[in-house]
Amino acid sequence: MTRVLVVDDEVSIRKALSLNLAARGYEVVLADSGEAAMRAVAAEHPDIVLLDLGLPGIDGIGTLEALRGWTQVPVIVVTVRDDEASKIAALDAGADDYITKPFSMGELLARLRAALRRAPDAAPESPEVVADHFRLDLPAHRAFVGDAGAEVRLTPTEWSIVAYLARNPGRLVTHRQLVTAVWGPTYDPDPNLLRVHMAHIRRKLEADPSRPRHFVTDSGVGYRFEPSPG
């Protein structure tokens, strides 16, 4: 059964979507804030998220950005905001689709089915990555190193690089793919920029930065994250 996480601070909206989706055979999980949404994604592993933008605490855009730091679960924004700036911000933050209230259930269900068809088949993603020398708490954007679990601070850019590689374990990620994921498709960085950031990441996370075991370079092509080398 497809599991849908509905994130909206309005009780009436949550109730209406829950009843309509359940009547059509979907399993529904509810959240009333961005913080609750992130906890629900980590604990419930929904197949798709319906996300309002006007949330208390962390708003919808902040929630999207936080989720995209560790999961590729499809997200459809469901909001009253119909201005172009809001749509662009949501799509740039990682939304898969955008629908404005009021809407028909027929349209919402069609968009939901389309987003699910586009979603890649994958094993459920874990909110935590554990390697031999460090641990990453992806939802919280926190990293811990050594046997004592001392917390180490990564810059926002370093975290974006680490999180993207960690979401693609064992896969070669090209320089262009990584630049696009972190800075956007129109960014044209200095060729040494990624190399510098990767050097900082290795110094902070690898047991032996000069002989990295987890953040591996494929010379001239890109990088791979190996969670359990050897």
Report residue 53 as tokens.
Answer: 């933008």
Q: Where are the domains of the chain?
A: 3-118, 128-225
The helix/strand count (H/E) of the chain reads as: 8, 12
- pLDDT for the residue numbered 109: 95
- Let me know if domain 128-225 sits in CATH 1.10.10.10: yes
CATH superfamily of 3-118: Response regulator (3.40.50.2300)
Q: What sign does the CA torsion over 128, 145, 201, 131 have?
A: negative
Whether the ω angle into residue 124 lies within 30 degrees of 0, i.e. cis, is no
Percent of the chain with pLDDT over 70: 93
Model confidence pLDDT, tens digit, residues 200-224: 999 999 999 999 999 999 887 889 9
Percent of the chain with pLDDT over 90: 54
Sheet of 128-130: strand order equals 128-130, 134-137, 142-145, 150-152
- pLDDT for the residue numbered 120: 64
Q: Which helix (H) or strand (E) holds 62?
A: helix 60-67
The average pLDDT across 147-158 equals 90
- pLDDT for the residue numbered 118: 82
Cα(129)–Cα(70) distance, integer angstroms = 10
- pLDDT for the residue numbered 59: 92
Do 3-118 and 128-225 agree at the fold level?
no
Cα(193)–Cα(75) distance, integer angstroms = 31
By the 8 A CB rule, do 161 and 182 touch?
yes
Residue 112 confidence (pLDDT) above 80: yes
Cα(17)–Cα(130) distance, integer angstroms = 37
CB-based contacts of 37, cutoff 8 Å, min separation 6: 5, 7, 31, 49, 51, 55, 63, 67
Cα–Cα nearest to 4, from 141, 108, 132:
108
- pLDDT for the residue numbered 179: 82
Residue 123 confidence (pLDDT) above 50: no
Q: Indicate the pTM of the whole model.
A: 0.62
Cα(2)–Cα(154) distance, integer angstroms = 36
- pLDDT for the residue numbered 147: 86
Residue 34 confidence (pLDDT) above 80: yes
Cα(46)–Cα(99) distance, integer angstroms = 19
Please tell me which of 42-46, 50-54, 99-103, 174-178 the model is most confident about, judged by mean pLDDT.
50-54
- pLDDT for the residue numbered 66: 83
Average pLDDT, the chain: 88
Higher pLDDT, 125 or 58: 58
- pLDDT for the residue numbered 75: 96
At residue 98 the predicted structure's pLDDT band, cuts being 50, 70 and 90, is: very high
Model confidence pLDDT, tens digit, residues 165-183: 888 888 888 888 788 777 7
